Amino acid sequence: MKPSAILLISCPDQKGEVAAIADFVFRHGGNILHADEHADEESGLFLMRVEFDPKDFDIDLSHFNSAQFNPGQMAHSSSTQTGLSEFAEQFEPIATKFQMKWRLALSSYRQRAIIFVSKYDHCLVDLLYRQKSGELACDIALIISNHPDNQPIADFYKIPYEVVSVTKDNKGAAEAKIQSLIDQHRPDFMVLARYMQILSNDFVNRYPRRIINIHHSFLPAFVGARPYHQAFERGVKLIGATSHYVTEVLDDGPIIEQDVVRVSHRDTAEDLIRKGRDLEKVVLSRAVRWHVENRVLVYGNKTVVF
Amino acid sequence: MKPSAILLISCPDQKGEVAAIADFVFRHGGNILHADEHADEESGLFLMRVEFDPKDFDIDLSHFNSAQFNPGQMAHSSSTQTGLSEFAEQFEPIATKFQMKWRLALSSYRQRAIIFVSKYDHCLVDLLYRQKSGELACDIALIISNHPDNQPIADFYKIPYEVVSVTKDNKGAAEAKIQSLIDQHRPDFMVLARYMQILSNDFVNRYPRRIINIHHSFLPAFVGARPYHQAFERGVKLIGATSHYVTEVLDDGPIIEQDVVRVSHRDTAEDLIRKGRDLEKVVLSRAVRWHVENRVLVYGNKTVVF
Amino acid sequence: MKPSAILLISCPDQKGEVAAIADFVFRHGGNILHADEHADEESGLFLMRVEFDPKDFDIDLSHFNSAQFNPGQMAHSSSTQTGLSEFAEQFEPIATKFQMKWRLALSSYRQRAIIFVSKYDHCLVDLLYRQKSGELACDIALIISNHPDNQPIADFYKIPYEVVSVTKDNKGAAEAKIQSLIDQHRPDFMVLARYMQILSNDFVNRYPRRIINIHHSFLPAFVGARPYHQAFERGVKLIGATSHYVTEVLDDGPIIEQDVVRVSHRDTAEDLIRKGRDLEKVVLSRAVRWHVENRVLVYGNKTVVF
Amino acid sequence: MKPSAILLISCPDQKGEVAAIADFVFRHGGNILHADEHADEESGLFLMRVEFDPKDFDIDLSHFNSAQFNPGQMAHSSSTQTGLSEFAEQFEPIATKFQMKWRLALSSYRQRAIIFVSKYDHCLVDLLYRQKSGELACDIALIISNHPDNQPIADFYKIPYEVVSVTKDNKGAAEAKIQSLIDQHRPDFMVLARYMQILSNDFVNRYPRRIINIHHSFLPAFVGARPYHQAFERGVKLIGATSHYVTEVLDDGPIIEQDVVRVSHRDTAEDLIRKGRDLEKVVLSRAVRWHVENRVLVYGNKTVVF
């Protein structure tokens, strides 16, 4: 995979946007590798992802070394970095004209992730393997767990592992500890890989569209605890898993990916859990990969995955 | 397919049931073609379906010409027919010993169905085609609709078509009209093939496990009206369809079959409806076929499909 | 769905194509509704589909009333029609500069289809229903069959039905008869909906990328006759169906769509055929819909479905 | 999961088999937990799997501690073990009467596996994780590889790892080395988890139905080398993976499990490989689990998975 620059755009739908953007990239020497766009009729929004080869781009992006992950606004005003600031200056007229929110990312920049996990290790093990094998082009800066159990696998992959115990009485202190670890490791995003603790609204609101969760049901069915047991009780013929960005409302954030698998009366609740594990791994890892590759755009409570 | 006899059994799980049943069939000259059983650990129930070749069976079943569809009790006491009554007499000791609820069906008996439909015709057209092509081994006695629109396709397949208009003010009279049509055509079961009217609890309770509905969502997600629009709003990545027996509680009856199809941001609510039609057809027709082939056993609010 | 114009392009991959095309559409007053492109690394080809709203387009396309289906070349030189000729003239500089093959289509133009069928009617019945319900935005000009069996369903949908018997000895005459029917009805494309006769190479070569076939296996597995029986013999755990453009080599043309369904040891060869019917219907109808919506671009022996 | 005894039977289809077997189990105090049977019409074979609770079984099976994996014959005469020999003696009259091939297995016996692997580690990593997490109720006695690369993961899971280099010139010596490792570790079965060397016919024939392979295509499509590249060339819309028992003919043994995943023109050959890895892991691990749980019966070149 050659290095590429990815421009993500959201603006009111109107004539001439595609031409303006394609022309901008072309005039500055970029070669468009992929372009995807979506005009959402309900909201009147135009969403676009343009991936271009920056080799001959006449704005120097080589010093541009952050994820620019600012999805709340995707505002061009947020950066003073060399590279991005020049890009922002040049892109300004178009952005203003079309009222664009935008952000730019380089595929060569490796986003930094923190993985949260409790005892169930299948998603953690899966993510660590995929990261090491090159499937997930990000760095894993840290694993945070409320249990010591998964230290050995972290050691095997040489990832720092911090235990932050959570009890009824220390929730505030525990979250403060987590916050200090985040401040220290400065992740671009976080993954809740079957982390069984609820994070506070304050915490969640600090990282909009930057916390990816895996819920072990086909949302919005079976919100909350023990969804496989709920599914078993209801007698469904398929079970699912859902990966979504975390918001204040439990299991209600924008869905990134879902999948299902067939079950039958022969499957006990334990079989559902076993089958579900394979689903969870696949669904979460897809969501993380798309996030890392800057393919996910959120609008309202929905996502476009380009 | 050679003609077969199907024995459906439900009883408390205990030792020796399979042996007793298999021995009974064998002693009377039946050759077991398929046997399926399920021991449900939660409820302690044992469920079984035995299909046997009745050619050399020493109890004459040739006069036994009803569906014996009595799933509320599946009681052996309900029949006075030749064939079944002799079978019941012979089977009595085993049934009593193991506290069995049971029913017997012959594949040669063609169950009679009434299909209910409103304006959307895709499920109706699909069922009529499958019935005619031999895929559904039942007879369609009548189509009831609250609209005249689907008369032509009924005529093409030479099925009587009755329009029973339903308005806010005539619900009681309409249901009485429907009841009289049922009394006249004596169906073994009914299919709500996108019938958009709510049937009264009284009506529904009269035909437990004999009314099959198709709901256009992956239940229990998106209960009630306009599920595709609900799904579109929630931004799910898969949409589903669910076929279930109708009970008093809306969209809550025992699920017979479900399936899903992938959707993306490119799909409008209209695309979801189009994709959903294919799902609904397949899911409903599977449920009807399994019902017709006496493969569905209900226990609690769940089904076993053998 | 509002009317749209669709521009399909294929050319060597190079810088500035997207900008040139987007700018062209914009300068002439078109509003891009969807744009999709694919750069194929192996072949060095760039493929693009641009769908735009022609309402304010300053080139009058209102007289442009053909499918312009010329996929062998997609050459702009083939037309002398008002509308298209002006478009071609204006687009010429860009087309020449980038060595583009291209064609333009209007969604308002309804392509004309001829369906070929033998005795198995499931795909025919499915296509006729979908066409009538508005899912397939084409006209069905004629049904050709080597058997009279499907006349009634053709009559129901009021489509002309011509029987052209084919025997060992009359193949040449039969194909001449078919050719004269084609000359008379001038279809934009043809669909072999389980047509069990082999068409001659001469015939096939006359309609490159204009004949869509459904083969009842997951190609390239089980080429040729009785694929379900082949699949049954091999003991596969999934069976498939494949829709493809017809070329000289049997079952070897560019694949438009495929799908599979799970089977088990319980399924007899007859069950495979039944399950396969549902696959065939869905796979063929998707392929036809995508063809009708001008979503399919062929390159080499492969397709891009935009 | 409580311990169970599993009786696998194959014999000519005839009356009374189910009754005889069920009665045998019942008379000796066993409680049937699951019973599955299949009458294959083509071959006239009857296949059955009976799982029963041996707690009150009056034949002592507690000393019976081997897999009794003798699938070539499944002959009752092969054993002289306490437990099995008494069972064989008691079961003899039934087995003789119905010309049964049979074998008995205890779920409490943990089969021993040897895994073969080359450089690609995804299937190996997956199997080791599943085994450790309890999903695969077998022991992994040894990993054999023609490369040293996967030593670290073997060490992590504390499984012995033997490198047996294979070159053009040492094939005979390498296989002799492998044979001596097998003789030393006495596996019940072997798994080729992306092992890229061809085993000799002599070797393969020594272990009929005891070597499980994963092939990275939907067999019988794309036999042999580089199937993903073959699939990419052919332009298929789905790619697959197949797990099968190894026989003399390359990629032609009885299929245990297959699955597929959708691909599009956007997927490069590398994307196919990535998507395929997930398929291979799931398909191979299912096949191994079913084998370990004594669910697979081979007849002709096909399998029944009960």
CATH classification of the domain holding C191: 3.40.50.170
B176/chain C closest Cα distance in angstroms: 33
pLDDT at residue C76, as a whole number: 37
How many beta-carbon contacts under 8 Å exist across B and C? 15
C162 shares its domain with C89: no
Q: Kindly state whether residues B56 and B164 are assigned to the same domain.
A: no
- Residues of chain A positioned with their CB less than 8 A from the CB of C23: 19, 22-23
Which token pair is C187?
């279809």
Cβ distance of A34 and C39 shorter than 8 Å: yes
Chain centroid to CA D87: how far?
A: 25
Helix axes C269-292, C122-132, angle to 10 degrees: 30
pLDDT above 90 covers a percentage of chain C that reads 86
Whether A302 and chain B come into contact, CB under 8 Å, resolves to yes
Rounded to the nearest angstrom, the minimum Cα separation between C301 and chain B is: 27
Q: Which helix (H) or strand (E) holds D171?
A: helix D171-185
Q: Of C106, C124, C145, which residue is a domain's last? A: C106
Residue C83 has pLDDT above 90, yes or no: no
What number is the average pLDDT over the span C56-66?
77
Query: Chain B residue with minimal CA distance to C286?
Result: B275
pLDDT tens profile C121-138: 999 999 999 999 999 999
Q: What is the CATH number of the domain that holds B42?
A: 3.30.70.260
Is C278 touching B (CB cutoff 8 A)?
yes
Write down the H helix ranges in chain C.
17-27, 84-97, 122-132, 151-156, 171-185, 201-206, 227-234, 269-292
Instruction: Please indicate, yes or no, whether residues A140 and A260 belong to a single structural domain of this protein.
Output: yes
Question: Among B228, B238, B243, which would you mutate to test the A interface (most chain A Cβ atoms within 10 Å of its Cβ)?
Answer: B238
Burial tier of B63 (Cβ tally within 10 Å: 0-12, 13-18, 19+) = exposed
C274 confidence band (pLDDT: 50, 70, 90): very high
D187 & D118 share domain: yes
Q: Do C33 and A39 touch (CB under 8 A)?
A: yes
Catalytic-residue membership of C251? yes
**β-strand partners of C114:** C142, C190
The one-letter amino acid code at C301 reads N
Residue span of the structural domain in which C178 resides? 111-305
Q: Does residue D92 have a pLDDT over 70?
A: yes
Q: How far apart are the first and last CA of chain C?
A: 17
Chain D residues within an 8 Å CB radius of C301? 234-235
The pLDDT value given to residue B242 = 98
Distances (CA, A) of A152 to A158, A190, D159: 9, 21, 16
User: B260 at the D interface (CB within 8 A)?
Assistant: no
Does residue B83 sit in the same domain as residue B115?
Answer: no
User: Which residues in chain D are closer than 8 Å to B32, comparing Cβ atoms?
Assistant: 17-19, 37
How close does chain C come to D40, measured CA to CA in Å?
Answer: 8
Per-residue pLDDT reduced to its tens digit, D148-183: 999 999 999 999 999 999 999 999 999 999 999 999
Q: Does A259 contact C at CB distance below 8 Å?
A: no
Mark whether D99 and D115 lie in a shared domain: no
Q: Measured between CB atoms, does C186 come within 8 Å of chain A?
A: no
pTM of the model: 0.94
Task: Kindly provide the ipTM of the predicted complex, given to two decimals.
Answer: 0.92
Task: Of A253-257, C158-162, D51-55, give the lowest mean pLDDT range.
Answer: D51-55
Does any CB of chain B come closer than 8 Å to the CB of residue D36? yes
C220 prior amide bond cis, ω within 30: yes
Residues C63 and C190 both lie in one domain: no
- What is chain A's mean pLDDT, rounded? 92
CA distance linking residue A255 with residue B163, whole number of Å: 43
In this structure, are D186 and D292 located in the same domain?
yes
Domain boundary among A48, A71, A106: A106
Q: Say yes or no for a CB contact (<8 Å) between D129 and A122.
A: yes
φ/ψ of A87, rounded to 5, equals: -55, -45
- Alpha carbon distance A275, A232 (integer Å): 13
Residues of chain C contacting A33 with CB distance shorter than 8 Å: 39
In Å, what is the CA distance from D141 to each residue of A81, B213, C184, D121, D128?
56, 53, 73, 18, 11
Q: Do B265 and A218 touch (CB under 8 A)?
A: no
Cβ within 8 Å, pair B274-C122: no
Place of tokens 């924008």: A254
The pair phi, psi for residue B123, each rounded to 5°, is -70, -40
Residues of C in contact with D254 (CB under 8 A): 235
Residue A253 reports pLDDT greater than 80? yes
CA dihedral A41, A42, A46, A47 (to 10 degrees): -110
Q: From B218, B182, B301, B205, select the one nearest B253 (Cα to Cα).
A: B301
Label residue A66 by pLDDT band (50, 70, 90): low
B-contacting chains (≥3 CB pairs under 8 Å): A, C, D
- Domain end (from B69, B90, B106): B106
Determine contact, residues B15/D31, Cβ cutoff 8 Å: yes
In this structure, are A99 and A151 located in the same domain? Answer: no
**Tally of residues, chain D:** 306
Question: pLDDT at residue A80 above 70?
Answer: no
Q: How distant, in Å, are the alpha carbons of A152, B54, C54 from that of A164? A: 16, 68, 60
Predicted local distance difference test score (pLDDT) of residue D62: 72
Within this chain, do residues D97 and D119 fall inside the same structural domain, yes or no? no
pLDDT-wise least confident of D61-75, D88-102, D205-219: D61-75
State residue B168's pLDDT score. 92
pLDDT at D63: 63
pLDDT by position in tens, chain B (length 306): 678 999 999 999 999 999 999 999 999 999 999 999 999 888 899 999 999 999 999 998 876 655 454 443 443 333 445 567 889 999 999 999 999 999 999 999 999 999 999 999 999 999 999 999 999 999 999 999 999 999 999 999 999 999 999 999 999 999 999 999 999 999 999 999 999 999 999 999 999 999 999 999 999 999 999 999 999 999 999 999 999 999 999 999 999 999 999 999 999 999 999 999 999 999 999 999 999 999 999 999 999 999
Q: Is C15 in Cβ contact with A19 (below 8 Å)?
A: no
> Residues of C with CB below 8 A from B282's CB?
278
User: What is residue A1's predicted lDDT score, i.e. its pLDDT?
Assistant: 64
For residue A79, pLDDT over 50 is answered with: no
> What is the token pair recorded at B144?
């009831």
Q: For residue range D180-213, what is the model confidence (pLDDT) as tens digits?
A: 999 999 999 999 999 999 999 999 999 999 999 9
For C103-118, b/e burial (b = at least 16 CB within 10 A) is bbbbbebebbbbbbbb
Cα C6 to chain centroid, rounded: 15
Flag whether residue D137 sits within 8 Å of chain A, measured between CB atoms.
Answer: no
Residue D305: enclosing H or E segment and its boundaries? Answer: strand D302-305
- Catalytic machinery residues of D: 251
User: Per-residue pLDDT averaged across D22-50, rounded?
Assistant: 93
Alpha-carbon distance values, B163 to A290, B185, C61 (Å): 52, 15, 47
| Cis peptide bond N-terminal to C71, omega within 30 | no
Q: Could you tell me if C84 and C194 lie in one domain?
A: no
Alpha carbons D125 and A129: distance in angstroms, whole number: 8
Query: Do B155 and B254 sit in the same domain of this protein?
Result: yes
Q: In this predicted structure, what is the pLDDT of residue D20?
A: 96
Checking if the pLDDT of A285 tops 80, the result is yes
Neighbours of chain A (3+ CB pairs under 8 A): B, C, D
Q: Tell me the nearest-neighbour CA distance from D18 into chain B, angstroms.
A: 6
Q: A86: burial class by Cβ within 10 Å (0-12, 13-18, 19+)? A: middle
DSSP run (H or E) holding D129:
helix D122-132
Residue range C96-116: average pLDDT?
A: 95
- When divided into structural domains, chain C yields a total of 2
pLDDT-derived band at C82, boundaries 50, 70, 90 = low
